[in-house]
Amino acid sequence: MSDNGLAILEELEILEPVEDAGEDYPSHIGLLGRAIGLGKAEDTDILPSIPAALNPFLTSLFPVLFVNRNLRIITTNQSCDKLFAGFPRMQGNYFFDIFGKFFQVEDIRKIRETIVGGKNGYSWKGETRIKSHDMATVQTRVYIFPAEIVKKPEQFVVMFDDVTEENKRLLRAVFLSLLEASKLKDNDTGKHITRVNYYSKRLAEELYYSLGPQYPNIDADFIDNIGFLASMHDVGKIGTPDDILNKEGPLSDWEWTVMREHTKNGAFILSTYPNPMAKEIALAHHERWDGSGYPFQLEGEMIPLAARIVSVADVYDALRMQRSYKPSLSHEVSVSKMMEERGTHFDPFLIEVFRIIADEFDKIFETNRDNG
Ligand SMILES: [Fe+2]
Ligand SMILES: [Fe+2]
């Protein structure tokens, strides 16, 4: 039995016994017990085929699967296989063995009442977030309804409506407009933030593919998120007075104090973003490995990993960029300057990974140069 199944089994204690769970099964096992492979279900539960009238579902663009009354998966369509590629084989397995951990206990209870007890016309509608380590979170609406219009249906359609991209687009659009507003004030040239996204994503990918076990927090979601959120690192500069932001020449102590506030302002602005990574990057991208950074002088791994990554990306790009007060440095000089800061400014492990893929940083810079 999978861990999943065990977790659900623990929850069974709070579930009502199922009256009509089936003739061949002890009643205390109930539908969910059968669903996770208890009792005789394995031996006797022969999977039927899908009625021809339901064939359109099999070619539907919506991910669809069929379950029987025991919540055993009869078959899946191609869109479903594509959406859940990398998941265990579905056909013949129990729905909650595969998907149980993505549903609230209350939802599991309701789904069971729907299919066993016929509540709401054997139909259920809800939402869930489905993910695996290799796959970014998929937000879906889930619809369950009978596959046949009879008094006591034997087969059910489970349809997933993937709303991830739609939600992500809406959410990111809101924060992108904030970023645009901050760009109007900041003297960083246009493509700096785009390049910082690319470098950060590339570093995270390298950590994931080459050093995965050492960085269990990096998964498909982390890579996708840092590739967007790295660009937000200086969004707090929207609250920095223009005369300080655009001052030519050195800042006074007091002006530096105000300038450093952009980290806290950024965290404040991004506190409504659903993923805490946004806040971490804004708040901690100027912290240094040896504890000499700002705003909180965090040290070593106290600095969130996403912020340590963005710090490498941001400094590399700042060195390469031409500014009114400095010339553009070559790739080689920039890399050697950064290597000198191994263990002082930068995470020493991360900077080694940076060195290995540094040529790709150069390529990113060259192909995304600022015009003029
Ligand atoms: Fe900054
Ligand atoms: Fe920056």
Residues 6+ away with beta carbon under 8 Å from 117: none
Considering the chain, what percentage of its residues have pLDDT values greater than 90? 55
Strand 64-68 versus strand 73-76 pairing type: antiparallel
Radius of gyration from C-alpha coordinates of the chain: 27
Residues lining ligand 1 (ion), CB within 5 A? 234
Expressed in angstroms, the distance from the first to the final Cα of the chain is 63
Query: 358-366, long-range: CB within 8 Å, 24+ apart, which pairs?
Result: 358/331, 360/202, 361/199, 361/202, 361/316, 361/331, 362/331, 364/195, 364/198, 364/199, 364/202, 365/195, 365/317, 365/320, 365/331
pLDDT one-digit tens code per residue, 201-233 = 999 999 999 887 889 899 999 999 999 999 999
Span 65-96, pLDDT tens digits: 999 988 999 999 999 998 898 888 899 999 99
- Closest ligand to the CA of 282: 1
Domains and CATH numbers, the chain: 3-162 (3.30.450.20), 166-367 (1.10.3210.10)
Q: What is the pLDDT of residue 133?
A: 76
Alpha carbon of 107 to ligand 2 centroid (Å): 44
pTM of the model: 0.76
Q: Are 121 and 143 in contact (CB under 8 A)?
A: no
Residues 343, 290 contacting (CB under 8 angstroms): yes
Query: Exposed (0-12), middle (13-18) or buried (19+): which is 165, by Cβ within 10 Å?
Result: exposed
Which ligand sits closest to the CA of 194?
A: 2
Told to judge if 125 belongs to the known catalytic residues of this protein, a careful annotator would answer: no
pLDDT > 70: what percent of the chain? 86
Q: Which amino acid is at 103?
A: F
**Of 103 and 35, the one with more pLDDT:** 103
Check pLDDT > 50 for residue 108.
Answer: yes
Residue 117 confidence class, pLDDT cut points 50, 70, 90: confident
Ligand 1: distance of its center to the CA of 200 in Å? 15
- Residues 157 and 209: beta-carbon distance below 8 Å: no
Ligand nearest to the CA of 193: 2
CB 266 within 8 A of CB 283: yes
Q: What is the pLDDT of residue 372?
A: 54
Catalytic residue among 110, 183, 201, 237: 237
